[in-house]
Structure 1
Amino acid sequence: MKRIVLGGLEGQMGSFLAEALKSEEGIELVAGISELEKLDGEIPIYNDIDKVLREVEFDVYVDFTVYTFAKKASEKMLKAGKAIVIGTTGFNKEDVDYLKEVAKQYGGKGVIAPNFSIGAILINKFTEICSRYFKSFEIVEYHHVNKKDQPSGTATYIANTLDCALKRELETTHIHSIRMPGVLAKHQVLVSDEFQILELIHQSNTRHSFEAGIILAIRKVEELQELVYGLQHLID
């Protein structure tokens, strides 16, 4: 039985995931972390990371909170030798590199993923393939009006993959961010030369599009020997 602590249990993604985990065999949500402590409910909710580490027996820490909290929580969990699954966006290369060193030093492991949708992993892969044949790219990301980071972590990840493939700097790939009501998450990659245009589009219509990837990460994260960035490291 994998015992899970969920950071952001009372948020939109956290509450969705908590409900989804109820039907998952071999996974048990044993505690949550939120702003207000509520220890007398069906699932105890803490507001202190150190208290969770002292009082709760668990295997994997999952985080859907905000960047500042997730960064602090990730560091503390890795220093405690825990496995982490981080879906909170906003982590930059310096953050990830630092946390990789923390994991290596203290025996922690985990995955930080800008997107848990399998489709998002594929659009990143398809974009990389396109870089063998095209040199002109634009990325457009659409999200709901409450999304705090801009551009999205997924768009930045696609741009970084693309720029590495083309051996150029990240700033040379343009990312256009749109925030609109009625939109959950959509990523569009425009590819062209002087004769043709190719469009790659991935759209998440509901949070269920992330569910399979999150569950996959929870089940497989303890097989890792390090901290990795991107869900593709857990896909065969």
Structure 2
Amino acid sequence: MKDHNMIPVVLAGATGKTGRAVGQAIHQATDMKLLGALSSRYAGVDLGSIWGENSLHLPLVRNLQDIQESYAVLVDFTEPQSALQRILQAIDWHWDLVVGTTGFSRDGFELLSKRVEQAGVGAAVIANFSLGAWVAQRLAQEASRYFSAVEVIEGHHPTKRDRPSGTARAMTEILGASLGRPTDTIPVHSLRLPGMVAHQAVVFGSPGQMLTIRHDVHDRSAYVDGVLAAIRRVHQVDGLITDLGEVLQVHADPPNQASH
């Protein structure tokens, strides 16, 4: 890293709704420098004008190869097909990765994980960077100790392509591991409707009662703190992580107060 006072960042997906919220936070962070942003549609246009702000003197570029930097953290909020090739290129350059893009195929994710390990870079590939989603996972994991009947309902805006969402798939993996069941035995119901941003409910049932753990994102600013934390720590990460708790350095279990 050339400048130890500023973390260099390149953002893919800066013109999308989530990318915009994340990009503006990166630009405002005092310990980060946004070196470049990618967009095939708006290549050559200043990023500030896309955001409705004054000029940032940062023209959007079409390809990662258009950014001449020896090191940066690649932050990617795009779609899986283009993202995978871009991420593999960044790995070849020994850049670290913060990835919020979801919908990778199993083979694609395994390739990504293998290349990260081979290159020795850090990668935070996390389906949902909001603290509430992580807490909901922890609560659902605990509830699954007592309830075996469970289904997941997830809802997003109509333009979200992957179904079920990456957040829902991560939840079924957690529940499957806890219940000792294949993930595909846990039903997931997907909604894509106007007015939705990102919503998920995990519904448990047993005779005479139901338990619902619900998380709602009403604004994409919910993801910002998690992404910034990942950018700050990813160079310390060994390999690929998918748990936001590792990024936030939150202890999975609270310390035993009685032992002090």
What band does the TM-score fall into relative to the shorter chain?
over 0.9
Match of 2:10 among 5, 8, 11: 5
State the one-letter code of the partner of 1:178: L
**What corresponds to 2:66 in structure 1?**
51
Q: 1:188 touches 1:201 (CA, 8 Å); kept in 2? A: yes
SS in 2 for 1:201: strand
Instruction: Determine the C-alpha separation between the residues in 1 that align with 2:107 and 2:230.
Output: 23
Aligned: 1:62 with 2:71: no
> How far off is 1:48 after superposition?
1.6
**What corresponds to 2:29 in structure 1?**
24
- Give the number of equivalent residue pairs: 234
Match of 2:227 among 214, 225, 229: 214
SS in 1 for 2:35: strand
> How far off is 1:21 after superposition?
2.0
Q: 1:78 touches 1:109 (CA, 8 Å); kept in 2? A: no
Gaps of 5+ in 1: none
Further displaced range: 35-44 or 212-221: 35-44
Aligned: 1:42 with 2:47: no
Q: 1:7 touches 1:14 (CA, 8 Å); kept in 2? A: yes
> 1:162-211 CA distances to partner (integer Å, 9 max, x unpaired)?
00111111110000001111111110000111132101000001011111
Further displaced range: 135-144 or 18-27: 18-27
Instruction: Determine the C-alpha separation between the residues in 1 that align with 2:162 and 2:58.
Output: 29
Instruction: Determine the C-alpha separation between the residues in 2 that align with 1:150 and 1:137.
Output: 19
RMSD: 1.6
Q: 2:147 touches 2:206 (CA, 8 Å); kept in 1? A: yes
Percent identity between the two aligned chains: 29
Instruction: Determine the C-alpha separation between the residues in 1 that align with 2:74 and 2:27.
Output: 16
> How far off is 1:92 after superposition?
4.1
User: Could you list the runs of 4 or more consecutive aligned residues of structure 1 that deviate by over 3 angstroms after TM superposition?
Assistant: none
> 1:206-234 CA distances to partner (integer Å, 9 max, x unpaired)?
01111111111111111101111232221
SS in 2 for 1:165: helix
**What corresponds to 2:107 in structure 1?**
94
Instruction: Determine the C-alpha separation between the residues in 2 that align with 1:183 and 1:90.
Output: 19
Counterparts of residues 46-195 of structure 1 (less than 5 Å) = 46-52=61-67, 55-195=68-208
State the one-letter code of the partner of 1:131: S
Further displaced range: 12-21 or 194-203: 12-21
> How far off is 1:98 after superposition?
2.0
SS in 1 for 2:223: helix
Gaps of 5+ in 2: 1-5, 47-55, 250-260
Query: What is the TM-score of this pair, normalised by structure 1?
Result: 0.93
Instruction: Determine the C-alpha separation between the residues in 2 that align with 1:94 and 1:169.
Output: 18
State the one-letter code of the partner of 1:224: V
SS in 2 for 1:62: strand
> How far off is 1:97 after superposition?
2.5
